[in-house]
């Protein structure tokens, strides 16, 4: 009897249409752009119905003829069965034992290309299949593109971050719609020393064609392992667009833009998506002010091609080397320091809350308005910083910095990607979106974060202080664990992996208990609008009642001053 691997449990991850959702953010850093020579990518899996948990697939060997079920990541829908690989690799979250890491953002693209009858592989399956079957970023690209060619592509347009200890790539893909199997796509390697990003808008524009020695089409995909190749694309990526009438005859092949053809940028894509890429670029490059009007939604178009011609570059040269803790903080941005700072306007309320409850747009008197969509958002299921370190053995080099819930109020803790188990309090199936478990990581972090939303300007600073301290401690611990594992691996690779697995699991579970206790402290200190402090030697705490603050008081008076005016005796 054939063994059947049930590929993925029925996770509820809703991909929202562009005007409704705008989920997920990825930042990419090459070796030459990082402070320690590691490669790094980030990913926030943002959805109002995604339960944050840490996935794990153990390594395995499979008999010939073994079949596996493919289940759509977003909905849990069974799509079909495909042959299992003869060998699969250990995967923790979105990173495997060979330090291959993959993230994604959905951009949708042309609506008619988003459905493909009979397709068996969705974007989530592509990620986790590639992680189980690939030893490098290049191999992951080969696996992913061959899978959709063979079995069809079930999803809409996607951007993928794909990295290993040496290289960082971006792969953008969109299906061919009904009537044709597979997808059109382009993959580009980020030049060493540069950083990139994508956030629900396709970003690859022009790319070198195969008359350039650095580029090849899918008909020669076997040559992707040639290190001189830095661009790979579907053989019909341009001819398919011409056949569908997406570009005019006047547009030369050399002028062809993938993004502008298959997912033209519009106001919403710039304002809700590109602005998140800009927020990271702006922290590391001094020229990004030049693109501020673009990311606010002011898009200019070329008269000949119709393409947007004032877009940001796909990658930029950073003005300093980037650390892993900076990568964590890039995920915590609310457009601070800009005119769109979410903590400053009326929507922030009296306590400077930099969040806006959905929907993303709303109408008043026939006019449509928007809520900003920043990188840090309330609906994050989980996020990570994947750090790949080429100077260490693969069992030690991969660190999957994992967190659940809103990145601004969470803590990233280290999980070695060789780990053969994950922390039980973050494990798949421990709680769910409609099943509250009081010591599950997702629920513990959500309790703290949602309490902070009630009075953000006084509660969040305490969260931030503890967040910084813990992440700094974890970075220091990793250096110690690396050294111990390096000693162990001299005599036994298995012993080193067991040691790192135990460290990762213990660290994750202890963090949840620490954060649960922290919630109790915050709740007791800040409940009922007060700020209470323990007074040594006294039973009762000191109580402060800061109220709403002068600025908000003035707004209340402006709105309803006559009714609020005190008419009794002065105190």
In the chain, helix, strand, coil percent, each to 5?
35, 20, 45
Q: What is the mean pLDDT of residues 142-171?
A: 98
Angstrom distance (rounded) from CA 415 to CA 398 = 8
Residue 13 has pLDDT above 90, yes or no: no
Cβ atoms of 322 and 29 within 8 Å: the answer is yes
Helix ranges (H only) for 59-111 are none
Angstrom distance (rounded) from CA 53 to CA 218 = 35
pLDDT per residue as tens digits for the range 516-544: 999 999 999 999 999 999 999 999 999 99
Residue corresponding to tokens 């690989």: 85
Q: How many CB atoms lie within 10 A of CB 109?
A: 24
Global pTM value: 0.94
**Per-residue pLDDT, 12:** 30
The residues, ordered by sequence, that sit 6+ positions from 119 with a Cβ below 8 Å of its Cβ are 79, 148, 151, 152, 153, 154, 175, 181
Average pLDDT, the chain: 94
DSSP 8-state symbol, 350: G
Helix ranges (H only) for 431-492 are 441-454, 456-489
Residue 20 has pLDDT above 80, yes or no: no
H/E segment holding residue 556: helix 550-564
pLDDT per residue as tens digits for the range 95-125: 999 999 999 999 999 999 999 999 999 999 9
Q: What is the mean pLDDT of residues 219-240?
A: 96
Residue 17 has pLDDT above 90, yes or no: no
How large a percentage of the chain has pLDDT more than 90? 94
Residue corresponding to tokens 């299992």: 84
**Per-residue pLDDT, 571:** 63
Residue 483 has pLDDT above 60, yes or no: yes
**Per-residue pLDDT, 19:** 35
Residue 7 has pLDDT above 60, yes or no: no
**Per-residue pLDDT, 212:** 77
Angstrom distance (rounded) from CA 378 to CA 123 = 23
The residues, ordered by sequence, that sit 6+ positions from 200 with a Cβ below 8 Å of its Cβ are 18, 21, 22, 23, 24, 25, 105, 106, 107, 108, 269, 272, 273
**Per-residue pLDDT, 14:** 32
- How many Å is the Cα radius of gyration of the chain? 25
Nearest to 442 by CA among 131, 99, 47: 47
pLDDT per residue as tens digits for the range 452-477: 999 999 999 999 999 999 999 999 99
Q: How many CB atoms lie within 10 A of CB 411?
A: 26
**Per-residue pLDDT, 569:** 83
pLDDT band for 570, please (50, 70, 90 cuts).
Answer: confident
**Per-residue pLDDT, 472:** 98
Q: What is the mean pLDDT of residues 74-95?
A: 97
Residue corresponding to tokens 């922390």: 423
Lowest mean pLDDT among 5-14, 353-362, 429-438: 5-14
**Per-residue pLDDT, 18:** 37
Task: Supply 431's token pair.
Answer: 């709680």
Q: What is the mean pLDDT of residues 546-558?
A: 94
Q: What is the mean pLDDT of residues 59-75?
A: 96
Task: Supply 124's token pair.
Answer: 């989530």
Residue corresponding to tokens 């609506």: 111
pLDDT per residue as tens digits for the range 285-309: 999 999 999 999 999 999 999 999 9
């Amino acid at each position: 009897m054939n063994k059947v691997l049930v590929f993925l449990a029925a996770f509820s991850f809703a991909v929202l249409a562009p005007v409704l959702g705008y989920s997920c953010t990825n930042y990419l850093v090459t070796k030459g752009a990082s402070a320690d020579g590691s490669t790094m990518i980030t990913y926030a899996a943002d959805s109002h119905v995604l339960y944050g948990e840490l996935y794990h697939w153990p390594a395995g060997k499979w008999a010939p003829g073994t079949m596996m079920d493919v289940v759509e990541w977003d909905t849990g829908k069974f799509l079909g069965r495909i042959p299992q690989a003869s060998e699969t690799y250990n995967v923790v979250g979105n990173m495997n034992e060979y330090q291959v890491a993959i993230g994604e953002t959905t951009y949708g693209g042309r609506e008619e290309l988003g459905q493909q009858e009979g397709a068996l592989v969705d974007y989530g399956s592509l990620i986790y299949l590639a992680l189980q079957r690939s030893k490098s970023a290049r191999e992951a690209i080969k696996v992913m593109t061959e899978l959709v060619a063979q079995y069809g592509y079930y999803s809409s347009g996607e951007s993928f971050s794909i990295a290993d200890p040496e290289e960082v790539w971006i792969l953008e893909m969109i299906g061919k719609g009904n009537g044709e199997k597979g997808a059109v796509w382009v993959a580009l390697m980020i030049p060493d020393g540069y950083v990139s990003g994508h956030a629900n808008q396709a970003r690859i524009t022009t790319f070198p064609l195969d008359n350039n020695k650095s580029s090849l089409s899918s008909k020669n995909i076997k040559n992707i392992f040639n290190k001189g190749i830095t661009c790979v694309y579907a053989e019909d990526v341009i001819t398919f667009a011409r056949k569908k009438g997406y570009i005019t005859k006047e547009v030369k092949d050399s002028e062809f833009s993938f993004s502008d053809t298959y997912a033209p940028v519009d106001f919403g894509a710039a304002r809700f998506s590109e602005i998140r890429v800009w927020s990271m670029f702006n922290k590391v490059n001094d020229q990004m002010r030049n693109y501020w009007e673009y990311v606010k939604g002011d898009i200019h178009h070329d008269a000949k091609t119709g393409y947007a011609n004032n877009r940001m570059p796909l990658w930029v040269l950073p003005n300093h080397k980037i650390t892993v803790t900076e990568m964590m903080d890039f995920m915590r941005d609310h457009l601070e320091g800009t005119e769109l700072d979410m903590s400053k306007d009326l929507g922030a309320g009296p306590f400077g809350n930099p969040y806006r409850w959905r929907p993303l747009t709303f109408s008043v008197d026939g006019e449509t308005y928007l809520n900003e969509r920043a990188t840090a958002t309330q609906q994050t299921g989980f996020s990570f910083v994947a750090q790949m370190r080429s100077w260490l053995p693969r069992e030690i080099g991969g660190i999957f910095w994992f967190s659940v819930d809103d990145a601004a109020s969470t803590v990233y803790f280290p999980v070695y990607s060789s780990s053969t188990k994950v922390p039980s309090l973050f494990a798949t199936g421990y709680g769910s979106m409609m099943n509250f478990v009081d010591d599950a990581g997702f629920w513990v972090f959500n309790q703290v974060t949602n309490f902070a939303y009630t009075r953000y300007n006084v509660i969040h600073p305490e969260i931030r202080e503890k967040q910084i301290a813990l992440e700094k401690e974890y970075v220091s611990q990793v250096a110690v664990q690396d050294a111990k594992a390096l000693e162990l691996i001299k005599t036994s690779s298995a012993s080193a992996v067991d040691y790192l697995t135990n460290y990762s699991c213990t660290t994750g579970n202890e963090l949840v208990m620490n954060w649960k206790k922290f919630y109790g402290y915050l709740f007791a200190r800040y409940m009922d609008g007060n700020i209470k402090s323990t007074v040594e030697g006294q039973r009762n705490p000191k109580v402060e009642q800061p109220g709403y603050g002068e600025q908000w008081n003035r707004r209340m008076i402006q709105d309803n001053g006559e009714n609020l005016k005190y008419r009794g005796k002065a105190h």
